[in-house]
Structure 1
């Protein structure tokens, strides 16, 4: 279902980008300097949008790949017994305790992508999205290096 939703969003964005491109070309054809500049500005938007969509999809696929590997290796964080709020989120104190445990694992071996993945998930559970994204980017890069080293 998520893939269908993603496909719909990408198709809608593609239509929007083509529509914006058409408007930009129309502005170019008007021959007015100000409208030409506006057309250039509008034409930049689809390229920027394509870049954002492509990088988001690439990151999502990389994160999904790591999640699959962690699951296959039995190293996913087990949060099933942690207390939760009515919203379903893990209670803050429990998330902080989990984070401290995972942080110690990461500090023992920071160059293992599995530990970076686990600390990224722990940051997310603790509500620190900025650090979670940074740790996940690190995990993706470390895992890619490991795969390259194994294939060489």
Structure 2
């Protein structure tokens, strides 16, 4: 729940920033000189990129949470079996061991979005965020492309 609140606050602050920067860009364009119009257009590009980035990340998080909820309903969410040190940090050897099992599971069932989801969690636990994100994107793609069961 704390992560959702943090995400919402960050998104709201970014949205405010995009509006503020966008209004400054429009003011520069309204000034009407070649230099201010050029700067105004350049300034307007930043909020456009930011809104796109925020939208893509929000969609990604929403879809990943939907998969997590589905796994939770099935009772198939990955169990936290990581060994931690006295400060609560995951021990590297423990993360590597869990990762090896998750990778083997995914290699055995490469079309199962559930195994890709669990692999993404293992990548995250091993602090490999780029690969965790790619594995989760693959899980989402597999989930979204599966045939919908007839009612």
**Rounded Cα–Cα distance in structure 2 between residues aligned with 1:59 and 1:51:** 12
Question: What is aligned with 1:105?
Answer: 105
User: Runs of 5+ in structure 2 lacking a partner?
Assistant: none
Is residue 13 of structure 1 aligned with residue 11 of structure 2? no
How far does residue 31 in structure 1 lie from its aligned partner after superposition? 2.0
Question: What is aligned with 2:116?
Answer: 116
Q: For each residue in 1:110-143, what CA deviation from the matched residue of structure 2 results, as whole angstroms up to 9, or x when unmatched?
A: 1100011011111111222111111000001101
How far does residue 5 in structure 1 lie from its aligned partner after superposition? 3.8
Distance 1:34 1:12, change over 3 A: same
User: Runs of 5+ in structure 1 lacking a partner?
Assistant: none
Q: For each residue in 1:81-125, what CA deviation from the matched residue of structure 2 results, as whole angstroms up to 9, or x when unmatched?
A: x32024423211111111111111111111100011011111111
Distance 1:26 1:55, change over 3 A: same
**Rounded Cα–Cα distance in structure 2 between residues aligned with 1:5 and 1:100:** 32
TM-score for both structures, normalised by structure 2? 0.89
How far does residue 12 in structure 1 lie from its aligned partner after superposition? 2.4
Question: What is aligned with 1:75?
Answer: 76
How far does residue 57 in structure 1 lie from its aligned partner after superposition? 0.8
Report how many residues are paired. 149
TM-score for both structures, normalised by structure 1? 0.88
